A = this chain, B = another copy of it.
């Protein structure tokens, strides 16, 4: 198969007819295939099933004797802090472990700065229109938080080494109303890229005009490697060295380590920031669910136990990503109508179609029973200016279903591309 751009109008039309025919067959099959979000499969969840029963009528206390069934313990069990600290290469004093949603931690953190400012400084909105830098494509739920708090989002382009640091530096030094930036530094959602050492260093050395600017470092896929372990530099230590010790909040979650519906999550940040966050925690709650933290401690034992467990996740996930990227290579590799990134970890394959085709591809897939993340969702306010980015989330379906879904997807990509090319050709002729 040659690139579509080299095909004659006739060849394209022949192709289209064949693709239409196949598409009709897919529709007849009336499948329901789910690839909208990066959620673990049942196989992955079952890896942790023993956590459901690992406490007992004899085991509900920590090493120091804390009865986890009762009230108390504001910011996490010492044992769970230790595990997170070891995984993130920080000290337990730099870690706060809370409930089952790291998104809630980010939301609450933004809410905190909206109502109380950073470290009890002036609340962000009291200073003017708050802005966040949003490396895009990015995680839709980060953007939803901005929308909820009426924060203006400034898209920043993303390359293979991370966000465009030149633009970030320029904007940050000149605009004191830029108060935050969303980052997924490792296996970014959705691009799958890993920030380079240089990028991380430049982040730590930012000189924002606002002294209450904060980096939201959502390290959601910190230990979610498929094969080879990739390390990114320690942003907390680098910020410290750059005399910016309080500039970064690192978020981490076990939602894709243990259970999406019952995990533990953490914030890692400077001791001084932790102290500030505890002011709010003290007013908000007697403390997080300690029993669930103890379950995690008992099941994983230590950071090494967590990492060993992640290899089991990888053994399930990696074949799915190999299948997806292999099919993309095979089906679309020579057609010149799409680009994608083959990730080394995380939960997504980032896919770029021809300009103006993403919405149509997602719609075609939906018609044939494959649910994808809405096109545009990876951009602030759901607006992908080129309508080309699609987030493929292959983690949930079993391999056989995934193969079917990807066949439908590839067909849809080809079909939408030819439609677009024929449409363009038509409009050229008409001019």
Interface set of A (CB-CB < 8 Å, partner B) = 37, 39-40, 42, 45-46, 48-50, 52-53, 55-57, 60, 67-73, 99-101, 103-104, 107-108, 111, 114-115, 141, 144-145, 147-149, 255, 259-262, 279-280, 282-292
Contact = CB atoms under 8 A, between A and B. Distances in A.
Contact of A111 (B55, B70, B71, B111): B111
A103 B74 CA distance: 13
Contacts of A260: 69-72, 286
Contacts of A148: 279-280, 283
A122 to B, nearest CB: 13
Contacts of A290: 261-262
A48 B49 CA distance: 21
A37 B71 contact: yes
B144 A261 contact: no
Contacts of A48: 69
Contact of A289 (B52, B70, B292): B292
B115 A284 contact: no
A292 B55 CA distance: 13
B261 A72 contact: yes
Which of A50, A259, A280, A288 has the most chain B CB atoms inside 10 A of its CB?
A259
A314 to B, nearest CB: 19
Contacts of A144: 282-283
A261 to B, nearest CB: 4
Which of A52, A114, A141, A291 has the most chain B CB atoms inside 10 A of its CB?
A52
A218 to B, nearest CB: 14
A367 to B, nearest CB: 24
Contacts of A55: 52-53
A286 B69 contact: no
Contacts of A50: 57
Which of A50, A70, A104, A144 has the most chain B CB atoms inside 10 A of its CB?
A70
A48 B67 CA distance: 13
B289 A289 contact: yes
B289 A261 contact: yes
A255 B259 CA distance: 23
30 contacts: A37-B71, A39-B72, A42-B70, A45-B69, A46-B57, A48-B69, A52-B57, A52-B291, A53-B53, A53-B57, A69-B260, A70-B260, A70-B261, A73-B261, A99-B99, A100-B288, A100-B289, A101-B286, A101-B287, A111-B115, A115-B115, A144-B282, A147-B283, A148-B279, A148-B280, A260-B286, A261-B289, A262-B291, A262-B292, A289-B289
A405 B262 CA distance: 40
Contacts of A73: 261
B52 A60 contact: yes
Contact of A70 (B39, B99, B114, B288): B39
Given A40-B70, A111-B115, 4 more contacts: A39-B70, A45-B67, A100-B288, A103-B284
A282 B147 CA distance: 12
A49 B55 CA distance: 10
Contacts of A107: 283-285
Contacts of A284: 101, 103-104, 107-108, 145
A40 B67 CA distance: 11
B68 A261 contact: yes
A145 B283 contact: yes
A50 B53 CA distance: 11
Contacts of A70: 39-40, 42, 45, 259-261
A282 to B, nearest CB: 8
Contacts of A108: 284
Contacts of A111: 111, 115
B289 A67 contact: no
- Nearest first, the 5 closest Cβ-Cβ pairs linking A and B are A262-B291, A71-B260, A148-B283, A101-B285, A104-B285
Contact of A262 (B42, B56, B279, B289): B289
A376 to B, nearest CB: 18
A55 B99 CA distance: 19
Contacts of A283: 107, 141, 144-145, 147-148
